[in-house]
Structure 1
């Protein structure tokens, strides 16, 4: 289920997202995992993701050791919340970007790899990792066997 802070989100490149539910309409206890996509600062990603309301969501999932997966700069959201302090993580690492330094400023132990999994948390280095993150997340939530089956059925083997 998709959950958001607003009924409709205006994203980059005129892409709109209409979440199925608003955060105020759900109980976090009903969810087994949290997946956070990356995005652009110009589209307002950080203003919303760094809000007290969403930071509380991140901390809730971490405190309950529920799986959390992020793609690209979404790991900065975890860093901002404090859950990556003294944990291995990565984020967008293009040579022109300062995002790794930003993540490190939150106390994360930077690992310059495509995907970094530390316990129940997955972080990744760029948008091109999205499928790999999704399959790792699926494995965490179900089983290695199921993740391999889905990968095969989707033509990834």
Structure 2
């Protein structure tokens, strides 16, 4: 059980086909175990295909279409990685708007691996301290972020990590930031 209780807190998980499934399931389970209520938000209805590296994994049921979702209905946002997942989400206007809403409302956002690509296109990384999968560092730096190679970086409610090996630290900081609530420095 987590040292942080987030009982009753609603947490959106934004993803699409190609998600790295452990980067969805591990934080999802951590949120549930801490008393939170996770919701899978996606650009399409139905089922999404998860991946374990390059191999097809499980499928996941979508709870809510991103175009129907509002940041105001949630307490926090998690953006899992996966190259295909992140590449498709980053160009989806509804996904960009949904992410920006969390920053505008000063709510915690956590993103791992390739997930921070979406943060770039949502226009929310300039001046922020972040990490990601190493291949995204140039993109993040070019967008104005301060990138570093650390297992987890926390900046005013924004939690980022590099890869699945960082999930224990990522999950711990995710729950801590949700428990703390809104952060004045978390802005778009």
Task: Provide TM-score, normalisation by structure 2.
Answer: 0.67
1:55: Cα distance to partner? 0.4
Question: What does the per-residue CA deviation read over 1:68-105, in whole Å, with 9 as the maximum and x for residues that have no partner?
Answer: 00111111211222111011111112xxxx32112212
Question: What does the per-residue CA deviation read over 1:7-47, in whole Å, with 9 as the maximum and x for residues that have no partner?
Answer: 22223322322222222343331100000100123xx5312
Whole-angstrom CA distance in 2 between matches of 1:37 and 1:57? 15
Whole-angstrom CA distance in 1 between matches of 2:72 and 2:95? 15
Which entry has the higher C-alpha Rg, 1 or 2? 1
Query: Which residue of structure 1 lines up, in the alignment, with residue 155 of structure 2?
Result: 118
Pairing partner for 1:37 from 76, 80, 84: 80
- Structure 2: unaligned runs, 5 residues or longer: 1-38, 181-188
Q: Which 10-residue stretch deviates more, 111-120 or 23-32?
A: 23-32
Query: Which residue of structure 2 lines up, in the alignment, with residue 130 of structure 1?
Result: 167
More strand by share: 2
Task: Provide TM-score, normalisation by structure 1.
Answer: 0.79
Whole-angstrom CA distance in 1 between matches of 2:147 and 2:69? 34
- Structure 1 runs (4+) greater than 3 angstroms displaced: 24-27
8 Å Cα contact 2:66-2:98 kept in structure 1: no
TM-align CA RMSD: 1.7
- Structure 1: unaligned runs, 5 residues or longer: 144-157
- Structure with the bigger RCO (C-alpha within 8 Å, sep 6+) is 2
8 Å Cα contact 1:79-1:106 kept in structure 2: yes
